[in-house]
């Protein structure tokens, strides 16, 4: 099927396309420039030139899961494991707050050491000290009661990528003990509790087809998340997928734009993975419609150990250096970092 400007106009007016047109759009580079500029125009209409920053604290690389693509999977016996104490996490927040961060993202492998009591203690202490900040958790699949306990302790956002919305593809990426149905259920439960929810997927993960990507978009249309995180799949030698190729910059950018056009209000990060596969990946991501960056606030001594994929960038600099570097990069792309809490602007879309 041939795509034309009409395809983008239809996407702009309907915020949707039939499967065959989405397929053609994702598989062709012919309309990329128009696609990127249309996505940028929409993000500017809602968010102006503002880019929100989130301070990422990667607090544990222990994980009980064995996702075939991930460098911190349980069976990677070469991984050097670490955990941050509550005090260490608090000092990351303290440094982050003085650098202007108003969102802290606590991310980690699924590490049973951090039981609900400990997570709630950490969240409550951050909430008490920084009442003007958002607390985002990204700690995997938990029971609804656990999610509720974290929410009551003061967490208000949750990131849980669905990874792929297709059952067959999910089985190729994960061991039998994990289930797509459970992951999807977690996302809907998080929404019910009242979290601002983020989901997403890797682009170019092993065995992924364009049909799988369309299923991802259809799933997101049902979920209606506030945040959508996508980034290229990147190889890691200590995984069963060691011989697979990385996801591509071009397809990731095209998907960022398509997602911006379908979900105009969404908070979409220009991810570290995008910056890893191309020196200007994050800047290009912003120009294609992304509006969030997530610099690392973890102590430098553990940065290299949160080794999800190879050649991960930003593992050597102190938080302040990362913040300064990103500020310059964002400016060079034509946008401005703002230090607000950076909530989603869903109402703007409704009042159009």
Q: What are phi and psi of 324, to 5 degrees?
A: -65, -45
In degrees, rounded to 5, the angle at the alpha carbon of residue 291 between the alpha carbons of residues 55 and 318 is 30
Q: For the chain, what's the residue count?
A: 352
Task: Find the part of the chain contacting ligand SAM (CB under 6 A) among 32-40, 132-140, 212-220, 331-339.
Answer: 132-140
**Four-CA torsion 151, 222, 179, 145, nearest 10 degrees:** 20
Q: Which of residues 106-125 bind ligand SAM (CB under 6 A)?
A: 107, 109-110
User: In 3-state terms, the chain is what percent helix, strand and coil (to 5)?
Assistant: 45, 15, 40
Q: Residues 1 to 60: which contact ligand SAM by CB under 6 A?
A: none
Site string for ligand SAM, 157-196 (x = CB under 6 A): ---xx-x---------------------------------
Residue 271 near residue 38 (C-beta atoms within 8 A): no
- Interacting residue with ligand SAM among 227, 273, 313, 330 (CB under 6 A): 273
CA distance 275 to 206: 20
Token pair, residue 223, equals 């979920």
User: Helices marked H in 195-336 — which ranges?
Assistant: 210-223, 249-262, 272-277, 281-287, 300-303, 319-332
Min separation Cβ 4 and ligand SAM, Å: 33
Question: If you search the block for the tokens 């997403």, which residue do you land on?
Answer: 200
Residue nearer to ligand SAM on the CB measure, 38 or 136: 136
Determine if 70 is a binding residue for ligand SAM (CB under 6 A).
yes
Nearer to ligand SAM among residue 97 and residue 147 (C-beta) = 147
Q: Which of 109, 194, 102 is nearest to 144 (CA)?
A: 194
Residue with tokens 């977690």: 186
Judged by CB under 6 A, the chain residues 189 through 248 that form the site for ligand SAM are 202, 231, 233-234, 236
CB-nearer residue toward ligand SAM: 231 or 264 = 231
In this complex, which beta carbon is closest to ligand SAM, that of residue 231 or of residue 299? 231
| Number of residues counted as binding ligand SAM (CB under 6 A) | 19
Provide, rounded to whole angstroms, the least separation between the CB of residue 174 and ligand SAM. Answer: 10
Find the shortest distance in angstroms from Cβ 70 to ligand SAM.
4
Report how far Cα 148 is from the mean position of its chain's Cα atoms. Answer: 22
Site for ligand SAM in 302-321 (CB under 6 A): 308-309
Q: How far is the CB of 319 from ligand SAM (least distance, A)?
A: 20
List of residues contacting ligand SAM (CB under 6 A): 69-70, 107, 109-110, 138-140, 160-161, 163, 202, 231, 233-234, 236, 273, 308-309
């Amino acid at each position: 099927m041939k795509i034309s400007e009409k395809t983008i106009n239809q996407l702009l007016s309907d915020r949707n396309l039939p499967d065959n047109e989405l397929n053609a759009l994702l598989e062709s580079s012919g309309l990329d420039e128009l696609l990127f500029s249309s996505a940028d125009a929409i993000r500017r209409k809602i968010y102006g030139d503002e880019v929100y920053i989130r301070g990422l604290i990667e607090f544990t690389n222990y994980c009980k899961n064995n996702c075939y693509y991930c460098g911190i999977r349980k069976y990677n016996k070469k991984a050097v494991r670490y955990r941050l104490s509550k005090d260490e996490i608090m000092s990351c927040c303290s440094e982050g707050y003085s650098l202007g961060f108003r969102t802290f993202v606590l991310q980690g492998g699924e590490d049973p050491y951090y039981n609900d009591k400990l997570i709630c203690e950490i969240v409550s202490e951050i909430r008490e000290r920084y009442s003007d900040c958002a607390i985002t958790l990204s700690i995997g699949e938990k029971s609804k009661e656990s999610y509720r306990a974290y929410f009551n302790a003061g967490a208000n956002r949750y990131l849980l990528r669905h990874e792929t919305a297709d059952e067959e593809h999910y089985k190729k990426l994960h061991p039998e003990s994990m289930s797509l149905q459970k992951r999807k259920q977690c996302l809907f439960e998080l929404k019910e509790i009242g979290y601002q929810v983020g989901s997403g997927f890797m682009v170019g993960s092993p065995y992924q087809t364009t049909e799988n990507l369309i299923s991802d978009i259809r799933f997101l249309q049902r979920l209606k998340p506030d945040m959508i995180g996508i980034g290229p799949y990147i190889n890691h030698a200590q995984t069963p997928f060691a011989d697979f190729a990385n996801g591509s910059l071009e397809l990731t950018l095209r998907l960022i734009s398509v997602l911006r056009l379908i979900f105009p209000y969404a908070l979409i990060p220009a991810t570290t993975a995008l910056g890893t596969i191309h020196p200007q990946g994050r800047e290009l991501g912003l120009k294609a419609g992304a509006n969030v960056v997530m610099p690392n606030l973890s102590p430098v001594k553990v940065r290299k150990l949160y080794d999800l994929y190879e050649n991960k960038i930003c593992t050597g600099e102190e938080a302040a250096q990362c913040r300064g570097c990103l500020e310059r990069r964002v400016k060079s792309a034509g946008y401005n970092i703002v230090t607000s809490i950076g909530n989603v602007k869903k109402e703007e879309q409704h009042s159009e």
